[in-house]
Each structure stands twice: as structure tokens, then as C-alpha cells.
Amino acid sequence: MYFILILLHGIFIGIVHFLGYYILEGIFILLLLFFLLYFSPIFFSKKDTNFPTFSLSKISFSLENSLLLPMVFFYIAGFFLLFAVTGDFFTSFHYNILFFILVYCVFFLYILAFDWNNDIFFDIAKIHLIATYAILFSVVFVSFFSVSVVNLSTIVLLLVSIAFSLFYFRHNISPDILFFQGFLWMVMFSPFLLSVLTLSSVSYSFLLFSFGIIAIILFEGMPRFSFFDSFLPISKVYVLIGFMVSYIASIIGSFFDAGFYPFLLIGIAFLFLIHIRFSNYIALFSALFGIFFLYSLVFSSLMTSTSLLSTLLFIFFLPLCIIWNTYFWEEKFLYDFKSLHYSSIGFSVLFSLYVLLFIGWWWMFYYILSLSIFLLGFLLFLSYFRLRIK
């Protein structure tokens, strides 16, 4: 199944990349990531293998059964009215945030004064929360172009909406899973918004670092609290997708900025822990790729035409350490050692070819070739004996 998913999405990704539709390419990459994680046994023990079900048919536009349609018109009218009065997008946006905070104050006063536990209150609260999440996500996007959009009122709205969301999901008897995921993603963006307000600048490395770290904390912490029980399996899928988006983006960002390195190290450790607990080879291969990628990025300067020793050290040191390390512990899952050994040998083969073809060793080409073959043979011997005696 994994092979078919990767093959089909790979074809579409290649086609749209060739045609220059890079946004569509990103969408296909996210879809591939989602399906790989969705069909992976990464989240489940043998006793817990069922996803909760949800349906878009629960969204109702009936005037008799839902307040969604009139409230949507109400919010749209409010946005246009404030823009008409102020004549400036950012000013009207600021007043909209203040209006949303005022509505939350009304909610809290209503809870204190009246019997709030009814369907109409929860319907209105849900629509207002969805609109709040939309505003906060738009603030994140706009902050990349103008940090002034993030001010104290934005943070107040963020904190108030988180507090009210916790109240809502604690007491609502018919929770919406997709709605709850919006709450989780808003929580993951919270440190970034706080950093923009504090520093008055956007740090992409901090955005990915904070987003990924909160995803890890949620992934590890949600099973420990009953609050998440109704949403747990699918929520773990979503937060892990959030982590993987940060992880992949950090790999890309590492080409340009060393500030992405710390999250990569944490992400690699987290992926290894996932594999150790759940026997998930997607996590293992992602962690191994991260190790070899980071190693190559940091130590690629060792490959030089002036030093044969440093070049061979770069090519064979890390694979030798990984294969030799497997002699000191027992294999936990069936393909652990094979994955470690084959990826290590593949790394050495790849960079041996790179050095032979693209580094100026022509004056001693056959020396490099013979030494590379000899050291590859040594790795193969080490691998053979360890796999034979495991």
C-alpha cells in the first residue's frame, strides 16, 4: 500500500512540478504525507485500532435546524461595515478583533447569569470559535508580510479563545472532530504569534521549531488527559502531520540557515522513539534521512581534493559507526538492522560516486576507486556478520 501511495503521488508531484504548478505540488506532498500517516499503524496498540468516524453531512445550512447561515451573513456584514467606517484594512481588522473579544465577554457574562447548557448557546459559540480560528490563522499568514497585524489585542483574543475552547470542548456533548483539529492547530501557532509580538519580527526557524515542539508535546501528552479521549486517534494523526510538516520544512530551511538544526535533532530523536514504541518504518526512514542529511550538511566541507583522509572519513565514518553500533544491542523489530545497514551502505555508495565524479581527483582516480571499494567491502563484511548472528 505504501509503495502504491508513494508511486501515484510521486507521478502527480513530478507532473505538476514539471508544469510549474508549485502550489499544487505542495498540496500533493501534504496529501501523500497525510495518507502515509493515516494508513500507518503508528498510533495504535493491538487493543486500539479504530478511528472515530465523522461526516461533513453534519454541517447544516437549514434555517430551521442551524444558525450557521444567518451568523455567517452577520459576520460578513460586520467586516464590511467596519471597513467602510475606517477606510483602512488593518484598522478595521483591529476593530474586528476587539469586537470578537467583546463577544467572548458577553458569553462569559451569559454563563454567569443564565442557564447556558442548551443547543442554541453551543451552536452560537461554535460558529464564533470557528470565525475566531479563521481570524487567528489569517493573522499568522499576514504577519509574514506585515508584523504590525500582531498586537496586544491579537494575543488577548488568542488567550481568550483558547480558554473558551477548553470550556466548550469540556461541556459540549456532541463534539466535532474537524472543529477540534482547528483548535489544536491554533494552539500550535500560539508561540509564534507571541514571538512576533515580542520581537516585532518573523523568525521562520522559530515558527517551525515552536510548531513542531508543541506538536510533539500534544502527541505525547494527549493520551494522559481524559479531555482528549473523544478526539484522540485522529488528533494524533493531525498533530503528527503538523510535526512532519515542520520537520520537512526544517530540512529545506537548513540549506539556508543553521537555526533549523536544533529542531532537526529533536525531530530525529522523536521519530526514533516513535519507531521504538510502535514499529513504524516511516518514522525510522524519516529519522535516518534526517541523520544523513544533517551529517552531510555539517561535514560536507571534509570532501576536498586536497585531503584524501578527510574525504574518506566523511564517506565512511558515520556508516561505520551505525553498523558497528548494532553489535552492542539486540534487534527489537524484524527489519531494524537491515534498515540501518542498507541505508548506511547506500550513503557510502552515493558519496563515493559523487567524489569520484565531481571532486577533482583525476590525478589519483584509481587510488580513490580502490580505497572506496575496499572500505565498502569492509562495511559489507561487518553487516554480513551482524545480520548472520542476530
- Going by pLDDT thresholds of 50, 70 and 90, the confidence category of residue 71 is confident
Q: How far apart are CA 45 and CA 263, in angstroms?
A: 28
Report pLDDT for 48.
45
Does 334 have pLDDT greater than 90? no
Residue 233, CA distances (Å) to 37, 40, 134, 186 in order: 12, 12, 24, 19
**Grid cell 463577544 — which residue?**
103
281 C-beta neighbours (distance < 10 Å), count: 17
- 183-238 pLDDT per residue, tens: 999 999 999 999 999 998 999 899 999 999 999 999 999 988 888 888 888 888 88
Grid coordinates representing 257 are 540557515
Q: For residues 376-389, give the mean pLDDT.
A: 91
End-to-end CA distance of the chain: 29
What are residue 255's phi and psi, to 5 degrees? -65, -25
The closest alpha carbon to 188, from 242, 263, 128, belongs to 242
| DSSP secondary structure letter of residue 53 | P
What are residue 65's phi and psi, to 5 degrees? -110, -5
Report pLDDT for 173.
62
62 C-beta neighbours (distance < 10 Å), count: 8
Report pLDDT for 260.
92
Q: For residues 264-277, give the mean pLDDT.
A: 92
- Residue 114, SS3? coil
Average pLDDT, the chain: 83
Report pLDDT for 52.
46
Residue 381 buriedness (CB in 10 A; 0-12 / 13-18 / 19+): exposed
310-313 long-range contacts, CB within 8 A, separation 24+: 311/355, 311/359, 311/368, 312/371, 312/372, 312/375
Of the two residues 4 and 213, the one the predictor is more confident about is 213
- 271-321 pLDDT per residue, tens: 999 998 888 888 999 999 999 999 999 998 888 877 888 999 999 999 999
The closest alpha carbon to 131, from 87, 64, 190, 73, belongs to 73
Percentage with pLDDT > 70 across the chain: 81
Report pLDDT for 136.
93
pTM: 0.78
Q: For residues 30-50, give the mean pLDDT.
A: 54
